[in-house]
Amino acid sequence: MLRILHDTKYDFIRWWRTAAGLTIAFIVIGIGSIFVRGGFDYSVEFTGGTLMQLHFTTPPDQGKIRSALDAGGIRDEEIQTFGTPNDFTVRARSDSTATGADSASRTIEGLLVKSFGRDAFKVVRTEAVGSKVGSELARGAIIAILVSFFVTLVYLAIRFDWRFGVAATIATMHDILTTVAFMKIIHLEVSLTVIAALLTVIGYSLNDTIIIFDRVRENLRKNRREPLYNTLNRSVNETLPRSILTHATALAATLALLFFAGEVIRPFAWVMAFGIVTGTFSSIYVASPILLWIETKYPRENTAKSAKATKAARA
């Protein structure tokens, strides 16, 4: 593969307008669905409440499960199949029962035993989170994302140049928006696992962008008079073999988790699989064009002198 992609000269940047149109349309569809269909579905880690995973010996009637819980005073519960017809998850909000989140699981289990019998099912796992803890987790997740933005901007501004930092930060914001749109489109529940995947996507995308920007910086030092447009294209082509190998390997591992690791890890795998795609896309078609635009508006000193010298020579 390294031989096949060696010394390529693809003009990636020329397609930035088409790429921008596609990604903006995708974001608008995803974010628009939030207002049309309502917000996200949050796990009990954020809303507060109880989650129980149940395994029945024979596939039960979901309506009977709901009737049993309703009869016990548990309202607004969410009952879903979990991979197989024998497995179900039951979510009860903390305000859906007077017994509270800690004892809600025992109440639910008792109601199901009364309706189905002790040997008809077993409790695989139980999670209980208070509403206060849920709000703290939500606030912590937002702070973690904002801190990652700030640290990224500072690091790239010091290591490279403020222009690189701004371009990389905007590209990372693009990755978050597209990933959030993707989560809404496929109706993915927001949980701590999904937040962890989102933060991982940020790091993955930044790493890919930094690799390309590092090559851009090297090429700018080698050929100061070369237009930035050509330098960006050459840098993307020179890092293309590494990018293909890295992304293909990471995507293969993520797809293995998606198809074979089970329901618990599947939300993480969904976000990571999409994040690899959108992170690769943004490194080429978001970060690079934005850097080119910033350089046009706020040229570096060497670039400005070179442009003046070229104009003087032509005159």
Indicate which CATH number applies to the domain containing 149: 1.20.1640.10
What integer is the mean pLDDT of 79-85?
A: 79
**Residue 95 included in any domain:** yes
pLDDT at 75 > cutoff 70: no
**Residue 264 included in any domain:** yes
What integer is the mean pLDDT of 122-137?
A: 73
Question: CB-side exposure of 29: number of CA atoms within 13 Å?
Answer: 12
Q: Taken in order 127, 133, 135, 137, is the CA torsion positive or negative?
A: negative
Quick one: 100 and 193 in the same domain?
Answer: no
Q: Taken in order 52, 56, 61, 67, is the CA torsion positive or negative?
A: negative
Quick one: 176 and 306 in the same domain?
Answer: yes
**Residue 88 included in any domain:** yes
Q: Which residue has the higher pLDDT, 301 or 57?
A: 57
130 by Cβ neighbours in 10 Å (0-12 / 13-18 / 19+) ranks as middle
- Single-letter amino acid code for the residue at 30: G
Q: Compute φ and ψ for 49, nearest 5 degrees.
A: 145, -155
What integer is the mean pLDDT of 85-110?
A: 70
Q: Which of 59, 109, 113, 68 is nearest to 88 (CA)?
A: 59
Quick one: 31 and 68 in the same domain?
Answer: no
Range of the domain at 122: 49-129
**Residue 55 included in any domain:** yes
pLDDT at 193 > cutoff 70: yes
- pLDDT, averaged across the chain: 80
Q: Which of 109, 99, 135 is nearest to 51 (CA)?
A: 109
Q: 186 in helix, strand or coil?
A: coil
pLDDT at 309 > cutoff 80: no
Quick one: 104 and 158 in the same domain?
Answer: no
What pLDDT, on a 0 to 100 scale, did the predictor assign at position 313?
Answer: 33
Quick one: 209 and 164 in the same domain?
Answer: yes
* pLDDT tens digits for range 199-253: 888 888 888 888 888 888 888 888 777 888 888 889 898 888 888 888 889 999 9
Residues 6+ apart with CB under 8 A from 175: 201, 202, 205, 275, 278, 279, 282
Quick one: 157 and 245 in the same domain?
Answer: yes
How many Cβ atoms from other residues are within 10 Å of residue 150's Cβ? 10
**Residue 154 included in any domain:** yes
Into how many domains does the chain fold? 2
Enter the pTM of the model: 0.74
233 by Cβ neighbours in 10 Å (0-12 / 13-18 / 19+) ranks as buried
pLDDT band (50, 70, 90) for residue 298: confident
Q: Which of 280, 203, 273 is nearest to 240 (CA)?
A: 280
Q: Which of 21, 40, 38, 18 is nearest to 179 (CA)?
A: 40
Helix (H) or strand (E) holding 77: none
Which one of 129, 158, 193 terminates a domain?
Answer: 129
Task: Provide the total of helices (H) and of strands (E) in the chain, helices listed first.
Answer: 12, 4
Quick one: 27 and 102 in the same domain?
Answer: no
Which one of 90, 106, 129 terminates a domain?
Answer: 129
Tokens of 171: 């590209």
CATH of the domain at 84: 3.30.70.260
Quick one: 165 and 31 in the same domain?
Answer: yes
- Single-letter amino acid code for the residue at 229: Y
Quick one: 83 and 125 in the same domain?
Answer: yes
* Burial per residue of 63-97, b for 16 or more beta-carbon CB atoms within 10 angstroms, e otherwise: eebeebbeebebeebbeeebeeeebbbbbbbbebb
Q: Which residue has the higher pLDDT, 42 or 31?
A: 31
Which one of 129, 145, 161 terminates a domain?
Answer: 129
**Residue 7 included in any domain:** no
Quick one: 116 and 243 in the same domain?
Answer: no
What integer is the mean pLDDT of 65-70?
A: 84
- Edge-first strand order for the sheet with 49-56 is 78-82, 84-93, 49-56, 121-129
Quick one: 97 and 143 in the same domain?
Answer: no
**Beta-sheet pairing, 121-129 with 84-93:** unpaired
**Residue 146 included in any domain:** yes
Q: Which of 71, 37, 63, 69 is nearest to 50 (CA)?
A: 69
* pLDDT tens digits for range 248-289: 899 999 999 888 877 778 889 999 999 999 988 998 999 999
pLDDT band (50, 70, 90) for residue 105: confident
pLDDT at 195 > cutoff 80: yes
pLDDT band (50, 70, 90) for residue 26: very high
Quick one: 72 and 148 in the same domain?
Answer: no
The owner of tokens 């004892």 is 103
**Residue 44 included in any domain:** no
pLDDT-above-70 percentage for the chain: 85
